[in-house]
Structure 1
Amino acid sequence: MDIETFRNYCVIKKGVTEEFPFDADTLVFKVMGKMFALVSLEKKPSSANLKCDPEWSLELRDTYDGDIFPGYHMSKKHWNTVLLESRLPPRFIQQLVDHSYDLVVAGLTKKLKAELDSLQ
């Protein structure tokens, strides 16, 4: 999956914004102001950091060794780095994005969840 396809999939999700809060290279996707995905626009091979359930993180790293590993510059317990241009099927990468998004949404306050629900 190329970065543009990854970006397009992230931004169609409800309540998502994109920004460069750290530097001009790291594109961050947020839902209601909370990060769920980060991607480097310059680093090759292309990779994305995605939030993940801690137990599933370990399983994914074992199963997809070399394509999924502990989150680069992130909490190794809660984040994975996923190689986008790898043997991983695009639909599987989309499922990982969905999982990350859903984890962040589940952790939102009631007020932010209500705001998200009210969005078209």
Structure 2
Amino acid sequence: MNKETLDAYCRKLPGCTYDYQVDWECDRYHVGGKMFAMIGGDAKGKDILTLKCDPARADELREIYEGIIPGYHMNKTHWNSIYFDADIPHELWERLIAHAHEMVLQKLPKRVRQELSLPE
């Protein structure tokens, strides 16, 4: 996977906003002011995508795919990091990004979803 593809997919999700965190040297994607995805690197500078994830699903994914690890510099229960060179089907990357977006979207107050013209 590559950064351009991941960036484009994240940005096209409803209500997505983007910023660059200089201190962390990472690209961050939010919905309703809450982050659902981050593109950055690990301690060795190896590219990773970090995503919000349901805790039970997060553990399952880590067991199945070698390239998915507990969220790098994030809460290990609620976040997974995926190495760009992980052997993961393209469709799974998209499903995991959509899942992260939906996890955050569901937790937003109704008022915020309405302001963003997002589904109830």
Give the secondary structure class of the aligned counterpart of 1:29.
Answer: strand
Letter in 2 for 1:29: Y
Letter in 2 for 1:106: Q
Q: Which residue matches 1:23?
A: 23
For residues 1-120 of structure 1, the aligned pairs below 5 Å read: 1-23=1-23, 25-40=25-40, 44-65=45-66, 67-117=67-117
Q: Which runs of 5+ in 1 are unaligned?
A: none
Within 2, Cα distance between the matches of 1:72 and 1:22?
Answer: 17
Please, what TM-score do these two structures have when normalized by structure 2? 0.89
Q: Which runs of 5+ in 2 are unaligned?
A: none
Cα-Cα RMSD: 2.0
When residues 91 and 44 of structure 1 are mapped into structure 2, their CA distance, relative to the original with a 3 A threshold, is farther
When residues 41 and 70 of structure 1 are mapped into structure 2, their CA distance, relative to the original with a 3 A threshold, is closer
Q: How many residues align?
A: 118
Contact persistence 1:84–1:93 (CA under 8 A): no
Letter in 1 for 2:8: N
Calculate percent identity across the aligned residue pairs: 36
Give the drift of 1:22: 4.9
Give the secondary structure class of the aligned counterpart of 2:91.
Answer: helix
